Amino acid sequence: MNNTHKFLGIAVATLLAATVQAQHTEPVVTYNGEAGRIINENCVVCHREGGIGPMQFESYEQVRPWAPLIQFKVANREMPPYAYDQGIGIQDLQGDWRLQQADIDTLVAWVNQGAPLGDPDSPLLAPELGDPSEWNFVAELGAPDLVIASIPIDIPADGNDIWDNHYVPSGVTADRCIKAIQVKPRGEAKSVVHHANSSIEVFNEEGELERHSQLTEYAMGKWGELVPADVCRTLPSNSMVRWGIHMFPGGLGSIAPGTVIEDNVVEIGLWLHPLGYEKEVGYSQDLRQYSIQFERSEREVKLVIPPNGYQMTQGFHSFDHPVRIDSFQPHGHLRLVAASLEIFHPTTGEIEAISQISNWSATWHHSHLYEPDVAPLLPEGDVLVLKQWYDNTAANPNNPDPDQWVVGGSRTADEMTHAWIAVTHLDDEGYEKLLAERKEKLTRAVAGND
């Protein structure tokens, strides 16, 4: 045992003694202590003046009346809004909003003790955050390099779903690789823009537009997408962006304004790698919609959920080359309650759990981004197994009408069954190289712990 270890040993022993003592008198949790810190770090970003949360948590006076509801939402892992199951599959995600269990326990204990303020002489100040209408990646990446805006659209206060498809130029004059993307409805529009798809089209030799790839996908509550640094997701020169914006007049959820919204504009913020980046990285990544259960053209007629009943869908996809799965985002509407991604390994017969979301809600669409070191690496022939579960009973809090037959379709009242998955396309050499790099990191980590 070297000196550091000896010192650590003594420190641990002292800590243990302190914990044993503390068990007699329950540790006091206060707002000016730990409780406020947890709220400042995890909630204020949305729950503040101009933020997307319906109430503000910037001071003790603002937080105190909500303490019981905060306890309930946090204990049930409904807030922060990031439904992703603990303990199933990959847990290392980028942009993961989930609280640590210890922080949940602290907030619960604080409310049980009457949500006290604590020492009035050392007040806790709300964090200095940027403008709430700012782009989400500003802190890490600065302002976007490129903003592509849709044309303005007026949305009535109520009525049926509206779709708007139109083209705008991408504005790039050389091929570029995308580093990060966020789609942002301006101002009040965030509560009525149900989703906004954008694809890239390029002119062929006849001067006609042809689809090149999916640029990104936005659905209510989505934060953004980060592309791993070792691949190129291409935005080609002189391309056009085709918008497909789906709006729900009046809005969804508790932030719905129920009013006319004029000049609704949806913007895509793009952070780009320097020119020529595609030559530095060997492989390309794309984002695609992977159907669950039915072929796209047939989906609309086959997905049927009976009144006061349930449905479950399954889809299978494999590749004729090795791939890496970089992100996973289920998609459905008001009756979708759970989704999962598994991988079937035909050589061993095993099924591996990758991601599961048992408490899915249509107001929060997250693209779950796997940390690069744990993103699933699939040899040719491995099978993605996608599952989604629908609840059309009154027990589903999002269900507007359990007595309706619900079928596949694009309206908010219809259902969909697919997932958005970002895939890096590899060859055998790239696959072996990534596997070897991971193995080496693991060996080094184990050696480092010795």
* CB-based contacts of 191, cutoff 8 Å, min separation 6: 251, 252, 253, 255, 256, 257
User: Residue 272, interface with ligand HEC (CB under 6 A)?
Assistant: no
User: Residue 202, interface with ligand HEC (CB under 6 A)?
Assistant: no
Radius of gyration of the chain (CA): 24
* CB-based contacts of 190, cutoff 8 Å, min separation 6: 52, 184, 220, 255
Residue with smaller CB distance to ligand HEC, 116 or 409: 116
User: Residue 79, interface with ligand HEC (CB under 6 A)?
Assistant: yes
* Sole window of 72-80, 154-162, 179-187, 403-411 interacting with ligand HEC (rule: CB under 6 A): 72-80
Q: Which of 255, 265, 353, 383 binds ligand HEC (CB under 6 A)?
A: 255
User: Residue 257, interface with ligand HEC (CB under 6 A)?
Assistant: no
Bond preceding residue 236 cis, omega within 30 of 0: no
CA 277 to chain CA centroid, nearest Å: 26
User: Residue 367, interface with ligand HEC (CB under 6 A)?
Assistant: no
Site string for ligand HEC, 94-123 (x = CB under 6 A): ---x-x------------------------
* 54 phi/psi in degrees, rounded to 5: -75, -15
User: Residue 74, interface with ligand HEC (CB under 6 A)?
Assistant: yes
53, 109, 121, 418 from 65: Cα distances, Å: 15, 16, 22, 40
Q: Can you say whether the dihedral through the CA atoms of 93, 94, 98, 101 is positive or negative? A: positive
Site string for ligand HEC, 50-69 (x = CB under 6 A): --xxx-----------x--x
Task: In angstroms, give the least distance from the CB of 254 to ligand HEC.
Answer: 5
d(CA 448, CA 21): 35
Task: In angstroms, give the least distance from the CB of 170 to ligand HEC.
Answer: 29
d(CA 209, CA 201): 6
Residue with smaller CB distance to ligand HEC, 103 or 326: 103
User: Residue 227, interface with ligand HEC (CB under 6 A)?
Assistant: no
User: Residue 46, interface with ligand HEC (CB under 6 A)?
Assistant: yes
C-alpha dihedral (166, 169, 170, 174), degrees to nearest 10: 150
Task: In angstroms, give the least distance from the CB of 311 to ligand HEC.
Answer: 24
* Whether the Cβ atoms of residue 92 and residue 135 lie closer than 8 Å to each other: no
* Whether the Cβ atoms of residue 287 and residue 180 lie closer than 8 Å to each other: no
User: Residue 231, interface with ligand HEC (CB under 6 A)?
Assistant: no
* Sole window of 161-169, 208-216, 250-258, 390-398 interacting with ligand HEC (rule: CB under 6 A): 250-258
- Interacting residues with ligand HEC (CB under 6 A): 42-43, 45-47, 52-54, 66, 69-70, 73-74, 79-81, 97, 99, 253-255, 363
